[in-house]
Amino acid sequence: MLCTVTVARPLTAFAQQPGKVYRVGVISTTAPVSEMDASNKPLAAFVHTLRDLGYVEGRNLVLERRSAEGRFERFADIIAELVSLKVDVIVTSSNAAARAAKTVTTTVPVVALGLGDPVGDGLAQSLARPGGNITGLTIRAGHEIEAKRLEFLKEMLPGVSRVAYLGSKANQDWEAPWGKSVRAAARAQGVTLELAEHTPGQYIDAFAVISRAGAEALIVGPGPVAYNDRALIVDFATRARLPSIFAFREAAELGGLMSYGVSIVHIFQRTAGYVDKILKGARPGDLPMEQPSKFELVINLKTAKTLGITVPPSLLARADEVLE
Domain of 249, CATH number, reads: 3.40.50.2300
Length of the chain: 324
| Contact status, residue 222 vs residue 113, Cβ threshold 8 Å | no
pLDDT of residue 23: 98
Distances (CA, A) of 208 to 4, 219, 229: 42, 15, 17
H/E element holding 149?
Answer: helix 145-156
Mean pLDDT by 10 residues, the chain (324 residues): 37 55 93 71 92 96 92 94 98 91 96 85 92 89 78 94 88 69 87 90 93 96 84 96 94 96 88 97 96 89 97 95 94
Torsion sign (Cα): 139, 143, 148, 153 = positive
Residues 113 and 167 in one domain: no
Q: Which domain holds residue 189?
A: 145-261+295-323
Domain count, the chain: 2
DSSP, res 4 = P
Distances (CA, A) of 34 to 45, 65, 89, 235, 237: 17, 9, 21, 23, 27
| Contact status, residue 148 vs residue 159, Cβ threshold 8 Å | no
pLDDT of residue 167: 85
pLDDT of residue 277: 97
Residues 104 and 134 in one domain: yes
CA distance 106 to 90: 12
Residues 93 and 117 in one domain: yes
Residues 134 and 278 in one domain: yes
Torsion sign (Cα): 36, 40, 46, 50 = positive
CA distance 324 to 322: 6
pLDDT of residue 128: 95
| Contact status, residue 62 vs residue 21, Cβ threshold 8 Å | yes
Assigned domain for 5 exists:
no
Residues 42 and 158 in one domain: no
pLDDT of residue 41: 83
Assigned domain for 300 exists:
yes
Question: CB under 8 Å to 137, separation ≥6 — which residues?
Answer: 112, 113, 114, 115, 267, 270, 271, 274, 289, 290, 291, 292
DSSP 3-state of 320? coil
Number of other residues whose CB lies within 10 A of the CB of residue 46? 24
CA distance 48 to 209: 41
Residues 177 and 308 in one domain: yes
Mutual angle of helices 75-84 and 95-104, in 10-degree steps:
50
Q: Which of 90, 75, 68, 92 is nearest to 200 (CA)?
A: 68
Residues 30 and 132 in one domain: yes
Assigned domain for 44 exists:
yes
Residues 182 and 232 in one domain: yes
pLDDT of residue 173: 67
Assigned domain for 172 exists:
yes
pLDDT of residue 256: 97
Assigned domain for 230 exists:
yes
Residues 69 and 180 in one domain: no
Q: Which of 156, 22, 175, 141 is nearest to 91 (CA)?
A: 22
Model-level pTM?
0.79
Residues 96 and 153 in one domain: no
Q: Which of 240, 221, 25 is nearest to 114 (CA)?
A: 221
Assigned domain for 273 exists:
yes
Assigned domain for 310 exists:
yes
Query: Under the phi-then-psi rule, with left for phi > 0, alpha for psi from -120 to 50, and beta for the rest, what region is 138?
Result: beta
Residues 47 and 174 in one domain: no
Residues 125 and 170 in one domain: no
Assigned domain for 1 exists:
no
CA distance 1 to 3: 6
pLDDT of residue 130: 96
pLDDT of residue 15: 45
pLDDT of residue 97: 92
